[in-house]
Amino acid sequence: MRRSNGSSDQPRALITGVGGFTGRYLAARLAADGYRVWGTVRAGEAVDDANVAGGITPLAGDLLDPQALAHAVETVQPDAVVHLAAVANVANGDVARTYVVNVVGTRNLLDALARQRHVPRAVLLASSANVYGNATSGVIDEAVPPQPANDYAVSKLAMEYVAKRWNAQLPLVIARPFNYTGVGQSTDFLLPKIVEHYARGDRSISLGNTEVSRDFSDVRDVVDAYAKLIAAAPRGETVNVCSGTGWTLGEVLAMLSRIAGYEITVKVDPRFVRANEVRHLVGSNAKLRSIVGEAARTPIEGTLRWMYDEARKRLLAP
């Protein structure tokens, strides 16, 4: 299919937030799948040099600038869109910005996509499993009613509701990823913070509740799921992206102790114990598997070893 701008038939992908942790991995994956990839970045935001060298084209496209978004969308005329750009830290203190970026910014993007001449084949919106809150039904599937317990989760659920306005116009898929990690994730997030302490050889670490249970995935498995959901394009579906296995922080610490060869002393810091802490968050990936099929999953200890080895290389580099 030749677009109105006369461009070739090579499939095109647009990733918002391509300069972020997940965006870098997804850009590389889609490029390997044969897409020509563009990614929106905010003014002054760096894009990984390897991505640029691999043919990833950055575009100015702040979510709060409707004109810039419309220009980016019309420039690319994408076949596939993955919306990753967001305020993504649960503990972010700027509540107003969390809501404006995650809700109004998504609305701006969907409006721009609906107005362009070339209709994408798939538009994947990255929501969050945090929308389930303190669900107590054991392993959480997509039928569990959302019970968001913090502003980030509420903003993501609001984003999902806003997106429903475009269900008839756009082939929307909502992904609800559970916790995931990997090399390059900021130490503002918990697992990279813990890995960094072990890689430095620190003897102690301050944490919150080590008995909270989380469903951790490898970022490479998450972008694999996103790529397969784009290919399947299950219009109108909401899909968990998760491993289906829960691990407590205590168990994560035990794995890293084996990897690093020593045990770290944990100090419980009341500042890190949140009153609205989601205690148990483990997902069902049955629906994902029914759509994209079975996929190899990286064991969490393998992900932690990858992160630890890369952190040690970086810290020991001259």
CA distance readout (Å), 54 to 42, 207, 210: 20, 39, 40
- The secondary structure of 36-77 as a DSSP string is EEEEEE-TT----HHHHHTT-EEEE--TT-HHHHHHHHHHH-
What φ, ψ does residue 173 adopt, rounded to 5°?
-130, 130
Alpha carbon distances (Å) from 77 to 28, 44, 83, 227: 20, 24, 15, 18
Supply 285's token pair. Answer: 């990936």
Nearest alpha carbon to residue 255 among 205, 294, 299, 288: 299
Q: What residues contact 59, with CB distance under 8 A and at least 6 apart? A: 38, 39, 40, 41, 72, 75, 76
Cα-Cα end-to-end distance for the chain: 51
Active site includes 152? yes
Is residue 225 within 8 A of residue 241, CB to CB? The reply is yes
Catalytic hit among 152, 180, 198, 308: 152
Closest residue by Cα to residue 243 from 227, 222, 228, 224: 222
Calculate the CA dihedral of residues 183, 309, 246, 227 and round it to 10 degrees.
40
Residue 222 has, within 13 A of its CA and on its CB side, a CA count of: 31
Give the residue numbers annotated as catalytic, written as ranges.
Answer: 152
